[in-house]
A = this chain, B = another copy of it.
Amino acid sequence: MTEAAQNAGHKAEMEKLQAAQREKRRTLTDPERGLVLVHTGDGKGKSTSAFGVIARALGWGQRVAVVQFIKGKWKTGEKQFFTRFPDLLEWHVMGDGFTWDTQDRDRDIAAARAALAKARTLIESGDFALIVLDEINIALRYDYLSVTDVLAALEARADTAVILTGRDAKPELMDAADGVTEMREVKHPFHAGIRAQQGIDF
C-alpha cells in the first residue's frame, strides 16, 4: 500500500469513528443525580484515580470531601497535598490504620461506623460536588459495615458524585453504581521485591 493510500484509509477510518462518536454523543444525557463510581480489584490505582478525580474537580472550583475508612496513620503525599486547599476540600481520617495493625475488631467496627456516619452527613449536606469514600470496600469486606447502610447513605445524595474505593467491592454496591472499574494487577513492583515508593505509592 502506498503512503497516500494508507493515509486515505486512515482518514476514512477516523471519519467513521468520529461519526459513530458524534451519533452516540447526540443521545447522551446528564445523570439525574450525582454519579456513584466504584474502584475495585487487586491492582494499583483504586484510591489513586479517586485522587486524580479530586484534582480534576478542584480544577473546576468544585467542593470535595474525602473520608478515609482504613488508612489512618500514614503520612501520605496526597493528604499533605490536598489539605493545602481547605477552602474547597475537607479530609477526614476516620480509620485507625490497616486492620492487621489494629487487631481489635470492636475498635475497627466503631471506627468504620463513625466514618460512615460522617460520610452520610457530608452526602446529605449537598455541599460537595464529589465525596470520596476511600477504602470503604475493605470495611464492607470485613463486615464492619452493612452494605444496606452504605446503600442508604448513597441514596441520600442529590447532585453529589460519590467514589467508593477498595478491593472486593460487594456485588450489591456494584449493582447500585453507575460505573465500576476493576483495577487488575498484571505486574506489581512489590512482587519483584521492590518496596513502596514515596511519591508513587503513598
| A10: nearest chain-B partner, CB-CB | B105
Instruction: Please report the C-alpha to C-alpha distance between residue A60 and residue B197 in the assembled complex, in whole angstroms.
Output: 11
- Asked if A6 is at the interface (CB within 8 A of a chain B CB), the reply is yes
Nearest B residue (CB) for A8: B105
Cα distance A44–B53 in the bound complex, in angstroms:
11
- Contacts of A179-197 to chain B: CB distance below 8 A: 179-190, 192-195, 197
Q: How far is the CB of A162 from chain B (nearest CB, A)?
A: 11
> In angstroms, how far is the closest chain B Cβ from the Cβ of A6?
7
Q: Using a Cβ–Cβ cut-off of 8 Å, how many residues does chain A contribute to the interface with B? A: 82
Are B79 and A200 interface neighbours, CB within 8 A?
Answer: no
Residue pair A129, B31 in contact (C-beta under 8 Å): no
Shortest CB distance A120–B (Å): 21
User: A110 at interface (Cβ–Cβ under 8 A)?
Assistant: no
Please tell me if A125 contacts chain B, counting CB pairs below 8 Å.
Answer: no
- CB within 8 Å of B: which residues of A? 6-7, 10-11, 14-15, 17-18, 21, 25, 27-31, 35, 37-41, 43-45, 47-60, 62, 76-82, 99-106, 129-130, 161, 174, 177-190, 192-195, 197-202
